[in-house]
């Protein structure tokens, strides 16, 4: 078991005692945060509809083993993922971090928080994970200045300023959008089913297949394929991955149109289409006016004819 210590600093610190309400709010971040960070590494997403699967609950579990004086310090114990769930993390996937098996779920949580706080583009956090992180505000609201999580591999400090940075990052994340893409299917992972799509310009795109098409992937290996799905982006506008919902052999026409990286709407010029409206522009310019010279009687006759 690896030890992690969570220190709460500030006027509300009570040595080796902690309010049940504070502990509940802290665990309301750490439990879903640990699960979300593990799921990001296993599935490429932090959350999904429905209850968390049993494997995730098992892999991300940890124990509260003690409380210590000084700042309020809570000691947690967690097993490395390769021990907690050997069937899934005992051997490396093409898309996993090199040391994923050595990490605990809390290590994974810390790594994702540090990346989010830095603002760096990463596949190790997403909108759902950032929403969980922002629940740390509930812990700080009890009179604490900061939260520090320290484990064997890293140290993570959280305060109001860092949570504000994470909140700003979340507002900059483009909305996922539906997309089509053509490329050569390559590198299908046996452990998680993820695949790579190589575009003509040499760009490689990560794909996460829906369960309905996961078994079809091997039949398309090495071929030009047409993929439909949902594109997810980083705050910079760069593509993170595609959640693939449909896959088929690409036609020449599809290859000509859909062989370029998708971009989020805000980065594709949507904002340039927005124009300020004044008293003589936009809706104000046409309100109360017919577009032609027809009289009210003529309009009434036309309406009768199409009713």
Cα atoms in the 13 Å half-sphere on the side-chain side of 272:
4
Q: How confident is the model at residue 218 (pLDDT cuts 50, 70, 90)?
A: confident
Look at the block and give the residue holding tokens 């032609």.
Answer: 292
Q: How confident is the model at residue 48 (pLDDT cuts 50, 70, 90)?
A: confident
What does the pLDDT read at residue 297? 64
What's the CATH number for 177-267?
A: 2.40.50.110
Across 200-225, average pLDDT: 91
How many CB atoms within 10 Å of residue 281?
11
What does the pLDDT read at residue 151? 93
- pLDDT over 80 at 305, yes or no: no
- pLDDT over 50 at 299, yes or no: yes
What does the pLDDT read at residue 232? 95
231 with 177: CB under 8 angstroms? yes
DSSP 281: S
- pLDDT over 70 at 279, yes or no: no
CA 85/CA 83 separation, integer angstroms: 5
Q: Which pLDDT tens digit goes with each residue over 175-198?
A: 999 999 999 998 887 667 789 999
DSSP 270: G
Contacts of 56 (CB under 8 A, 6+ apart): 35, 38, 39, 42
What does the pLDDT read at residue 187? 80
Which has the closest alpha carbon to 261: 186, 206, 189, 194? 206
Q: How confident is the model at residue 287 (pLDDT cuts 50, 70, 90)?
A: low
Lowest mean pLDDT among 14-23, 83-92, 294-303: 294-303
Residue 265, φ and ψ in degrees, nearest 5: -55, -45
Cα 3 from chain centre:
27
What does the pLDDT read at residue 290? 52
Type and span of the H or E element at 157: strand 155-159
- pLDDT over 80 at 263, yes or no: yes
CA 169/CA 273 separation, integer angstroms: 24
274 with 265: CB under 8 angstroms? no
DSSP 219: G
- Using DSSP, state whether 2 is helix, strand or coil: strand
Domain boundaries of the chain, sorted by first residue: 2-172, 177-267
Across 262-272, average pLDDT: 61
141 with 95: CB under 8 angstroms? no
CA 279/CA 249 separation, integer angstroms: 53
């Amino acid at each position: 078991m690896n030890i992690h210590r969570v220190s709460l600093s500030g006027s509300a610190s009570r040595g080796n005692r902690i309010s049940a309400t504070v502990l509940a709010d802290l665990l309301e971040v750490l439990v879903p945060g640990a699960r979300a960070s593990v799921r990001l590494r296993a599935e490429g997403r932090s959350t999904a509809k429905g209850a968390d699967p049993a494997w995730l609950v098992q892999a991300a579990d940890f124990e509260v083993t003690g409380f210590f004086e000084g700042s309020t310090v809570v000691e947690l114990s967690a097993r490395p993922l390769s021990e907690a769930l050997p069937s899934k993390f005992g051997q490396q996937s093409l898309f996993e971090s090199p040391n994923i098996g050595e990490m605990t779920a809390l290590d994974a949580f810390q790594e994702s928080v540090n990346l989010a706080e830095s603002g760096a583009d990463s596949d190790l956090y997403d909108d759902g994970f950032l929403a969980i992180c922002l629940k740390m505000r509930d812990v700080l609201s009890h009179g604490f200045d900061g939260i520090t999580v320290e484990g064997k591999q890293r140290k993570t400090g959280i305060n109001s300023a860092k949570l504000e940075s994470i909140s700003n990052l979340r507002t900059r994340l483009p909305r996922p959008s539906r997309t089509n893409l053509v490329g050569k299917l390559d590198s299908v992972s046996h452990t998680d089913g993820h695949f790579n799509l190589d575009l003509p310009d040499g760009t490689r795109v990560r794909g996460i297949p829906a369960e309905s098409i996961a078994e079809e992937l091997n039949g398309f290996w090495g071929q030009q394929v047409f993929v439909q799905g949902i594109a997810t982006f980083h705050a910079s506008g760069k593509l993170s991955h595609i959640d693939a919902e449909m896959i088929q052999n690409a036609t020449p026409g599809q290859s000509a149109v859909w062989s370029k990286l998708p971009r989020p709407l805000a980065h594709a010029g949507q904002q340039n289409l927005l124009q300020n409206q004044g008293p003589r522009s936009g809706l104000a310019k046409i309100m109360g006016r017919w577009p032609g010279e027809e009289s009210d009687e003529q309009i009434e006759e036309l309406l009768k004819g199409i009713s």
